[in-house]
Amino acid sequence: MGHLHLIEQLFSRGIVDELILVPTGEPWLRAHAPHASGEERLAMAQLAVNDLPENIRSHVQVSDTEVHRAGPTYTIDTVHELQVLQPDAKWILIIGSDAYTNFAQWHRSAELQRLIEVLVIARDGDGFDIDALPVSATEIRSQIQSGATEIKYLPKSVMAYVRERNLYASK
């Protein structure tokens, strides 16, 4: 729901008029990557987007471009792909301040910053303040591993999907 809150804030504040949500295929910078496949993360993203109000949902697309790309997933490759599809669009990469702390380590990060505007959302740090919800994906996965059956900041449709596939359960 933290991502949904962010999306709603971006639209209500007029920062975006269209949004492409891109679940990661193979996250190469994460030492402890989530225990869900790219296809499963793609499905969960679509389920969550379906919970948005229609006037916003109709302007949000869930892209499978990174999930279907072979090998490690690099944001710069995704940006190049999207810019080819819509060369006249103004592109903004939206990331949390927690993710931005290691942005310099991203593949070709300097080139990426020249190609696209980066909007850093405040999460326990500097950035654009959207009154972020007090939750993280890591906390949610931890609650799932602990056996929680309902999680305050996880849409019920996504929780049902997680339970059905036994995702993020203790290994």
The C-alpha atoms of residue 85 and residue 166 are separated, in whole angstroms, by 36
* pLDDT at site 65: 94
Query: What does the pLDDT average to over 18-43?
Result: 82
pLDDT band at 2 (very low <50, low <70, confident <90, very high): very high
pLDDT band at 29 (very low <50, low <70, confident <90, very high): low
> Who wins on pLDDT, 52 or 29?
52
Query: What does the pLDDT average to over 67-79?
Result: 92
Angle between helices 38-49 and 156-165 (to 10 degrees): 160
The pLDDT of residue 91 is above 70? yes
- To the nearest whole number, what is the mean pLDDT of the chain? 91
By CB atoms closer than 10 A (0-12, 13-18, 19+), residue 127 is middle
pLDDT digits (tens, 9 = 90+) for 106-142: 999 999 999 999 999 998 768 999 999 988 888 998 9
Residue among 82, 75, 65, 140 at smallest CA distance from 110: 75
* pLDDT at site 31: 58
Around 111, how many Cα atoms within 13 Å sit in the side-chain half-sphere?
Answer: 9
Q: Are 79 and 55 in contact (CB under 8 A)?
A: no
Instruction: Give the pTM.
Output: 0.91
Q: Are 167 and 40 in contact (CB under 8 A)?
A: yes
Domains detected in the chain: 2-164 (3.40.50.620)
The pLDDT of residue 32 is above 70? no
The C-alpha atoms of residue 72 and residue 143 are separated, in whole angstroms, by 28
Query: What does the pLDDT average to over 19-41?
Result: 80
What stretches of the chain show up as alpha helix (H) in DSSP?
2-12, 38-49, 54-57, 75-85, 97-100, 109-115, 137-145, 156-165
* pLDDT at site 136: 87
Give, in degrees to the nearest 5, the angle at Cα 64 between 102 and 130. 50
Amino acid identity, residue 127?
G
Question: Coil, strand, or helix at residue 160?
Answer: helix
pLDDT band at 149 (very low <50, low <70, confident <90, very high): confident
* pLDDT at site 47: 98
Residue among 129, 45, 115, 36 at smallest CA distance from 74: 115
